[in-house]
A and B are shown apart, each in its own frame.
Chain A
Amino acid sequence: GAGVSQSPSNKVTEKGKDVELRCDPISGHTALYWYRQRLGQGLEFLIYFQGNSAPDKSGLPSDRFSAERTGESVSTLTIQRTQQEDSAVYLCASSLSLSGTGELFFGEGSRLTVL
C-alpha cells in the first residue's frame, strides 16, 4: 500500500483479555518497528524486525507481549491478559533496508484502552 496501515485504530477491552494489533508495512520495507506511546509520554521501543534476521525483542515490557512477522509483510503485536497499564497508542513503522535512508514511516497507530 501507499503507507503503513494499522488496525484496529481503536480498541477498548476489559482487563485480562487478549488483544491483537496488526501492522501492514509499506511494500518493500524490510524493517518493521513497534513502539508504545503512553498518554503524555514519548515513544517506547518494543521490538523490531529486519528481514529474516532474529527480531530485537529487547523492548518488550513483559512476557505478556509478543510479536510476529511473516517474511517482510504483515506483523501482529499480541498482548495477553491485558492490564490497565497497557493502555496506550501502539505505533508501527517501517523502513527500507540497511542500504536505504533509514527514515521511518509511521502508521496512524492503534489506541488501546484497557478498562
Chain B
Amino acid sequence: AQSVSQHNHHVILSEAASLELGCNYSYGGTVNLFWYVQYPGQHLQLLLKYFSGDPLVKGIKGFEAEFIKSKFSFNLRKPSVQWSDTAEYFCAVKSRNNNDMRFGAGTRLTVKP
C-alpha cells in the first residue's frame, strides 16, 4: 500500500505570509492526490485534488498544489495566508487501481493575526 509523508507537523505564520506545506508519497503505480482541510471543530473537507493533466491544480480559498512526479511530491501553497486558514491540513494519496486512500499525519497551521 502507498504511504504519505508530511514533513511539517506544526507551522506558525503571520497573516500575509506565504505558505508551502510539503507532501511526499511512496507508491509505484498511478495515483490520485488530494489535500483535505479540517478547520477547528469541523469535519474534514476537500481542498483540492489532482487526477491528470496540468500538474498545477487550484483549489478553494486561493490554495494550489503542484504535482512533481519525479519527486513523488504534491506540495500545497498559498501566496498570502489569512487568520481563517488556521486549520489542520492532510495530504492523501489514492491508488488508481483500487480505492485504497492513505493520509499523511497532517500539518497544523496556525496563522497569527
A interface with B by C-beta (< 8 Å)? 31, 33, 35, 41-43, 45, 48, 50, 56, 58, 91, 93, 95, 97-98, 101-104, 106-109
Contact = CB atoms under 8 A, between A and B. Distances in A.
A108 to B, nearest CB: 5
26 contacts: A35-B103, A41-B106, A43-B90, A43-B103, A43-B106, A45-B102, A50-B98, A50-B99, A56-B1, A58-B1, A91-B43, A93-B44, A95-B99, A98-B98, A98-B99, A101-B49, A102-B32, A102-B51, A102-B94, A102-B101, A103-B46, A104-B36, A104-B46, A104-B101, A107-B43, A109-B43
Interface size class of B (residues with CB under 8 A): 20 to 34
Nearest to B45: A106
Nearest to A50: B99
B105 to A, nearest CB: 3
Nearest to A40: B108
Contacts of B90: 42-43
B100 interface: yes
Given A102-B94, A106-B45, A107-B43, A42 B99 contact: no
B84 to A, nearest CB: 20
